[in-house]
A and B are shown apart, each in its own frame.
Chain A
Amino acid sequence: MKALLGILMLSAAFAVGTYTVGWWAVPVLGAAWGLAATPDRRPARVAGLSAALGWCALFALTASYGSAMEVATAVGTIMKAGTAGFLALMLLFPLALAASAAGVTSALRGAST
């Protein structure tokens, strides 16, 4: 339960960070989480999952204003990735970015301790 709460809070941090300062919040928060979390808490996985969830929430928020799925379909078509491809990319990008950033700092932290 505590872990789930942590993921949710981290997800919220990713969402708020992205909303306010943009996508750079993802590697920065991921890296910060990697430094803050102990290795047994699997910081890379948690960061990746939380970032993806945070972006998912942001997408839902944007969709509440209007035709976000239409945008996804159009951009997916233009990128020749399709709707699903675009949505997958939208989730995989923060997931991989946050996880790799957390992985780097987590490994560095482990090396220094």
Chain B
Amino acid sequence: MRPIRLTCSAILAFALCWVGARRSGPLPPLGPLLDPANGAVGAARAARIPPRMKGIVPGLAGAVTITYDDRAVPHVVAGSPEDAYRALGWVVARDRLFQLELQTRAAAGTLSELNPQLLRLDTVARRIGLGWAAERKFALLKEGGPERRSLDAYADGVNAYVAQMQPWELPIEYRLLGRLPMRWEPKHTMYLLSRMNQTLSFQVPEYSVVLAGALVGRAAAEQLYAAEAPIQEPIQPNGQKATRFDLRKLPPPGAPDTAILSAAGTVALAASAVGGATAGDPEWREASNNWAVSPRRTKHGYAILSGDPHLDLSLPSIWYEAHLTVKGELDAYGFTFAGTPSIVLGFNRDVAWSATNTGADVLDLYRETVDDGRHPTKYKLDGAWVPLEVHEEVYRGPGGRRLQLDTLYFTHRGPMRSLRGAWVSMRWTALDTTNAAASIAVFQRAQRATSVATLMTAMEGYVAPAQNFIMADRAGSIGIRSTGRYPIRPGNGSGIEVRDGSTRASDWTGYWPLDQYPQSVNPAQGFLASANQQPIDPKVNKRYLGASWPAPFRAMRINQRLRADSAWTPDAIRRMQVDSGSARADLFVPEFLGAAERLAKGGHGAPELTHAAALLAEWSRSYTPGDKRAVLFESAMEFLSRGVWDELIPADSLSPLRPPVPGAMALARLMRDPASPWWDDKRTPGVVESRDDMLAAALVGALNDLTKKYGDENGEAWQWGRRGPIEINHLLRLAPFGEHGVQARSGPETIAPRAANGTHSSSERLLVETGPELHAWTTYPGGQSGNPFSRYYKNRVPQWASGGLDSALFGAVPPNRTIATLTLVPAGSR
């Protein structure tokens, strides 16, 4: 008996030690996970913020005091900017350690080391050169220069926290993945900035035009995705007192352009190979709003600034709120990204600023000629063979096992890929190393700006991603500038073509001079606003800046409201931030109703059309959670889009040459041409549909579909809040750590937006009233802590959803609003 017992015990003990210490399939090591003191449940203990904390940070010149206010915002008081950045690194690591690592891995292309299923994202990140550019930019930072010192200081803070962290403070995500935090390197900040470039400026407008051109001819395709928006409400005021409509007829669909079919294939594959980017359906993504009102249009006589960047929502949020103070040098409050040693969007005593994405075309593709179609070593340039930069990439999985090998090629322009035998390279401002320090320096300079003028000067070197920076100062000035580096292309200057890479004549010839940037200071209209729309009216400046402009519906609504009032208060601006009215609905609802009325008058109005139109007419054109008609409009728009753009569906359903659905601007132009051949539904041979036929069919189709799915039109299932809630996923999409079904006043293309199935919306809201005494309010859909069990993990979500804001504590934190203090001291101190 004894040998058997011994053997069984030994096997069991060994097996348990094995699963305790090693990964077993999808399971992390069970020992550290289940450990009730230091394992996953330790997250409950780590959720507390002890009232008094102390830490040691090597490199600190003196003690730094950090006071956490009752929203868990750290107020850092340091003796030097570097010490402030060390402290910022510490507090961000304490609250967002896993986020720091995940973002860096996303740019470095090493997510597969956490989960092999993320390999595809890694290949994209590496192939578009995110890590390649980050490394090169970091290498160019001057050792001992202010930017490098700030990155070093930030890294000191992060690593000091990690070194002194208790085992139970390890973020739960690491326990679930069975990993320990990586060391934070100063260069990781550059990775984070690369990642932001991917999010905000990786757009390939060539994709849409070339693919659609292959199906309906280039002339029609260029108008479907027109570089010039037919509805103009530009960022740089154009002197008009209302929206300018230029809804010219769309050219009819032409014959498939076989000449560009091969190019279309190349571009389609290029776009997918380098990142899967498209310019399709732009108005549903990458949206943001900001606006500023001059003192003469505000009730209190002070300028007011509103900032509202829209991004994919996540828990923890991409933003972290902080206040940095260095006596006599720095006193800035606002939002920073985890990993960035500065306030990115915020304010100081004198000036406030925020940003929206410009969406300029800063990425071009080139057909390259190489010496060997399979294993190239050189590419042709002006008749000579030039060596390629070649990198062998290894992708690893958990435990370091090798998952995949890849060879990356780089020309002087940037990354190059092989696509069905063709080689295509990419030039992208995000990869340019000129002025590498600027991406760090501009925000650090902005923190110290004293006016709109000095803030604009501070941001002059900014490269990418291009942003519409809006600002307002205590003297009452307001300003905006679409800041970034905009390429000047040879020839016609267009960025919507794949150029010949074998000659330098195809290369960019320079960048826009600063004085031509879209910009304005203290305009006569008394306000400024941006919502990602085309920045300059082409009537003012026709130079090509981009082609991926979202429809200006949010800009229309914002400007319409700003024009209508001359006594703005901060609270009125706060309410406007969550305005759920829709200029898009104002444009298209009358089209549906008009079609139904015309058909009825002509004796073609079926009862179900009359009923559908009556339901739509009931709609307030506002996306409130309880509204039961918004869903009908959205569904009708979907039906309409599917019916109208059937010419863009390739005959071969498996073809990769599938252009994105044209946006609402093309549809708006089409409305002015009731008999356009685009209206005809090719799936109904023998019948030629008109505009009204298609509008009616879409409306009736939507009603029938919704009734079938959700029952009676007055039932609760039709409520917009149930059909269009906000979804805030955890970074790893772990359902228990997300916030789902959030009811908010938001809809597609409203000022308070909801896009991409509810996962994209307002990522933070900032409201600042400047003047002798500054007042500021903030919120964001999350909380300061990255610990899902902290009361500060998602505590602001209800406030955010209801349109509320908290007053930001800008100044000393009073004792009754202090929840904790942290003192950081230099190594060797007691």
Residues of A within 8 A of B (CB): 15, 18-19, 22-24, 27, 44, 55-56, 58-59, 61-63, 65-68, 70-75, 77-79, 89-90, 93-94, 96-97, 99-101, 103-104, 107-108, 110-111
Contact = CB atoms under 8 A, between A and B. Distances in A.
Contacts of B47: 65-67
B37 A93 contact: no
A104 B20 contact: no
Interface in B144-172: 167-168, 172
23 contacts: A18-B37, A19-B38, A22-B38, A23-B39, A27-B13, A27-B16, A56-B36, A59-B36, A61-B37, A62-B37, A65-B44, A66-B44, A66-B789, A70-B789, A75-B172, A77-B735, A78-B734, A93-B30, A97-B13, A100-B12, A100-B16, A104-B13, A110-B2
B412 interface: no
A74 B36 contact: no
Contacts of B38: 18-19, 22-23
Given A59-B36, A107-B5, A111-B2, A68 B16 contact: no
B476 interface: no
Contacts of B20: 23-24, 27, 93, 97
Contacts of B538: none
B736 A67 contact: no
Indicate the member of B6, B35, B38, B42 with the most A CB atoms within 10 Å.
B35
B9 A104 contact: yes
B48 A71 contact: no
B825 interface: no
B36 A62 contact: yes
Contacts of B44: 62-63, 65-68, 70-71
Given A62-B45, A103-B12, 15 more contacts: A22-B32, A23-B31, A23-B34, A24-B31, A27-B16, A44-B9, A58-B37, A66-B45, A66-B47, A89-B34, A93-B20, A93-B34, A97-B17, A103-B5, A108-B6
A25 to B, nearest CB: 9
Contact of A100 (B13, B27, B167): B13
B40 A75 contact: yes
A77 B176 CA distance: 12
Given A55-B36, A65-B44, A70-B44, A22 B5 contact: no
A63 B735 CA distance: 23
Contact of B43 (A18, A71, A93, A108): A71
Interface residues of B, number: 40
B788 interface: yes
Contacts of B37: 15, 18-19, 58, 61-62
B31 A22 contact: yes
User: Helix, strand, loop or mixed for chain B's interface?
Assistant: helix
A79 B17 CA distance: 20
Nearest first, the 10 closest Cβ-Cβ pairs linking A and B are A103-B9, A23-B31, A100-B13, A107-B6, A74-B736, A100-B12, A59-B36, A58-B36, A65-B45, A66-B44
B165 to A, nearest CB: 14
Contacts of B675: none
Contacts of B31: 22-24, 93
B284 interface: no
A97 B16 contact: yes
A78 B40 CA distance: 12
B139 to A, nearest CB: 40
Interface of B: 2, 5-6, 8-10, 12-13, 16-17, 20, 27, 30-45, 47-48, 167-168, 172, 176, 734-737, 788-789
A49 B737 CA distance: 33
Indicate the member of B10, B27, B788 with the most A CB atoms within 10 Å.
B10
Contacts of A104: 6, 9-10, 13
Contact of A90 (B2, B17, B34): B34
Nearest to A31: B13
Given A66-B44, A70-B789, A23 B32 contact: yes
B17 A27 contact: yes
A78 B736 contact: yes
Given A23-B32, A74-B736, A100-B13, A62 B5 contact: no
Nearest to A110: B2
Nearest to B35: A23
Given A22-B31, A71-B172, A107-B5, A62 B41 contact: yes
Contacts of B34: 23, 55, 89-90, 93-94
A23 B31 CA distance: 6
Contacts of B40: 71, 75
A37 to B, nearest CB: 14
A111 B6 contact: yes
A61 B38 CA distance: 11
A67 to B, nearest CB: 5
Contacts of B48: 65-66
A18 B35 contact: yes
A89 B2 CA distance: 28
A111 B172 CA distance: 44
Nearest to A16: B37
Contacts of B176: 75, 78
Nearest to B47: A66
A73 B788 CA distance: 12
Contact of A71 (B8, B32, B41, B734): B41
Given A107-B2, A111-B6, A72 B41 contact: yes
A68 B45 CA distance: 8
